Amino acid sequence: MSESHGGVSLSAGSLKTHKPQPCLEGRIFCLLKDTRDPVCDWTIKVSSHKQLDHQIHTQMVEVARNYGLMHAYDLNFAYQDKEQDHSVPFDGLFSLGNAFAKALQCKCTTFTVSIECKPEKSLTMFKALKLLKDKSSGVRPSDLIISEQVIAQLRESDLLSAVYEDSPHLQNLMLRKPNLIEEMKRVEGGCFKILAILLMVRYPDISYLLATIWEKGLSDNNLPFQDSHRPTAISENYWEGFCEEQWHVLPAELHRLESMENLKEFEVEQILPYDTAEILGEGSFGKGESDLRPQLALKRLMQMGSQYEEKSKNEISVLLALSKLNHEHINQLITAFRHGTTYCIIFPRADTTLDSVFAKHDHVDDIDHLSWILSQLSGLADALNQIHTDPLESSGFKGYHGDIAANNILLCSAISGLREEEYKYGRLQLCDFGLSKLSPTTLPSQGSEQADEKNRDSVYSIHDRGQVNYASPQTHLWPTDQEDFPQSRWRDIWSFGCVLFEICVWLIEGKGAVEKFVSARDEPGHKGSGRRRFYHMEEGDGTGRAVLRPAVVQKKMDLRKGGKWSAEAWAQAESVFGKLLDLIAHCWTIPARGRPQALVIHKRLRDICDDLALVRAGGIEIEDDS
């Protein structure tokens, strides 16, 4: 019978004390043989040479796997006593035990183990693997790409010669194909991407497998490999690794989209050559993300329902047609592609959207800014006019936007071709054409003059799928108002008037005023629901007549009083804002046929801009037309 108390063991007739075993703390270096380049090092604490041997073996298995090293290695155990340094080469477990015991005897508390390893096959292959690891070890998606430049470095190195020298299979193959090395080194139809993949997978007999793949008539041109390409010599696990690693050397290559026929389709495993950094916002049919390095924005078209394919191709085709207009106030398509099952579009990156500007910036009393924004609004109206009519017939299409809103107007300052005043404030551009439609300017007759007239004048749609706040009364009135008139372009005009009005609210009353105005338009019984149109339906007399909301009517009167502007600045700006409010009222005409065309809006905004320039130049007060 015995009891144990701490480090003391009690038993009948004896008393034994267990002394704690002495420990040595050491540092282990793993070095590359012949170069003395350090591969890795780690610290360790052990109480016996057997523990040390076990730890070394366990660690070296992992090191050899990670760095492409041979499992055979040379080891040196070094320690220091009071008199001198000792270094004991390792030639077996017995010598390590003796050295460890001597280190303990001289009361040494630290030791150093240096381990020299040879790279697998050759130093050349080790350097190649290190290059590949360095180039594919980042955290960003594009850091995982093995570029053509890296493949070229491998091609120019002695890597293939090192593999050839180690491969009887390649040597036998060369007897039948004397130009084997030259063929394998070709940029097109060579084998260096395959060789890079085999290195990254760390296949134990690279030379044999490379020879096997080449004999099957496969080259880099056949990548990506499928299961049908699998050589019988490679195990399922290694083949799975090969199929995963091959995407590092097969990144998606993006080019400017010239036509829908050239729309690229990439496998979902292919690495895209950009780094998404932040969500920029969500449009009618997609989500925008920024890219860190070039100033680009990516829009992923959201997968919603069975019409995803049709809607995606429609938006891309609209953007492609609009890019031919090359209008400075339309956000330009750079390219589009399909990644797996997701359609993606790339644009120049914008600074922000107009609705964000409303919340963050003040330009009360700022006549310079007022002049700039009038010029920008005139440009936006001209862009809308070209979408509606394409007067130059450069694209052969005419259509409508379908989702004019403050959050679909971008503020850009990092694009080319800015004018002098735009370097200070930026440029406004229309974006998000997910609900847009373009049709040929010449459509076949539908059997009546009325149909031909309708086809010539407008693109027809009775669906209002834009943002509800900017929706026009035709959402309710069609077809009960009996206006035999296509509505889509006139909905754009109504929505554009809403944006103009919000700009007036912001300019006159300052930041945060638009948000308060939006809340003031809450529909009775639907407070906080997001239903904040600029109009409501009067049901009392049974006619269902659309009228402006009381909050909108009141705001129109408030704005004419000058808001936060000083008397001196308002004296210059009052007539300008008066003309703007009159133009907005014209955009809100009911019935829709009374609204101005986009071309008329463009000209009136340009005239208002000229009026302001006259006022600033000579202090001349331009009378308000109203």
pLDDT at 163: 80
Select from 626, 583, 581, 625 the least CA-distant residue to 602. Answer: 583
Q: Is 300 exposed, middle or buried (0-12, 13-18, 19+ CB in 10 A)?
A: middle
State the average pLDDT over residues 172-201: 89
Read out DSSP for 35-48? TTEEEEEEEEEESS
Taking only the tens place, the pLDDT of each residue in 200-229 is 887 777 888 888 899 889 999 999 999 889
What φ, ψ does residue 394 adopt, rounded to 5°?
A: -75, -30
- Measure the CA–CA gap between 133 and 205, rounded to whole angstroms: 19
pLDDT computed for residue 89 by the predictor? 78
Highest mean pLDDT, choosing among 33-42, 142-151, 442-451: 142-151
Residues in the chain: 626
- Mean pLDDT over 603-614 rounds to 95
Q: What is the mean pLDDT of residues 335-357?
A: 90
504 has a pLDDT exceeding 50 = yes
- Give pLDDT, residue 67: 65
Q: Supply the mean pLDDT for the chain.
A: 77
Query: What pLDDT, on the 0 to 100 scale, is given for residue 542?
Result: 53
Q: How far, in Å, CA of 401 to CA of 598, rounded?
A: 12
Asked which of 222-236, 405-419, 452-466, 563-577 is least confident by mean pLDDT, the reply is 452-466
Q: What is the pLDDT of residues 372-397, one digit of tens each?
A: 999 999 999 999 998 888 544 444 45
Q: 87: part of which helix (H) or strand (E)?
A: strand 85-89
Per-residue pLDDT of 220-267, as tens digits, reads 999 999 988 988 878 888 888 889 889 888 888 888 888 888 898 998
CA distance 504 to 554: 14
Q: What pLDDT is attached to residue 583?
A: 98
Secondary structure (DSSP) of 192-210: HHHHHHHHHHT-TTHHHHH
Q: Which bin fits 34, alpha (ψ -120 to 50), beta or left (φ > 0)?
A: left
Structure tokens that stand for 573 in this block:
């700006």
- Cα–Cα nearest to 289, from 356, 359, 344, 335: 344
Q: What is the pLDDT of residues 45-97, one digit of tens each?
A: 888 878 887 888 777 777 766 665 655 677 788 888 777 888 877 655 556 77
- What would the pLDDT profile of 276-285 be if each residue is shown by its tens digit? 544 444 544 4
What are the tokens at 159?
């890597």
Give the CA distances from residue 58 to residues 171, 218, 280, 508, in Å, rounded to whole numbers and listed in that order: 37, 38, 48, 74
pLDDT digits (tens, 9 = 90+) for 294-329: 577 888 887 766 788 888 888 888 888 888 888 999
Residue 253 CB burial class (10 angstroms; 0-12, 13-18, ≥19): exposed
**pLDDT category, 590, cuts 50, 70, 90?**
confident
pLDDT on residue 79: 84
Could you give the CA distance from residue 195 to residue 190 in angstroms, rounded to a whole number? Answer: 10
pLDDT at 118: 65
Domains of the chain: residue spans and CATH: 24-119 (3.10.20.90), 123-249 (no CATH), 276-348 (3.30.200.20), 352-618 (1.10.510.10)
Bridge partners (DSSP) of residue 5 are 8
Phi-psi region for residue 82, left (φ > 0), alpha (ψ -120 to 50) or beta? alpha
Token reading at 209: 């497998």
88: left (phi over 0), alpha (psi -120 to 50) or beta: beta
Banded model confidence at residue 624, pLDDT cuts 50, 70, 90: low
Q: What is the pLDDT of residue 117?
A: 72
Which residues is 538 bridged to in the sheet? 545
Question: Mean per-residue pLDDT for 571-600?
Answer: 94
- Asked whether 275 and 142 are in contact (CB, 8 A), the reply is yes
Give residue for tokens 């540092």: 27
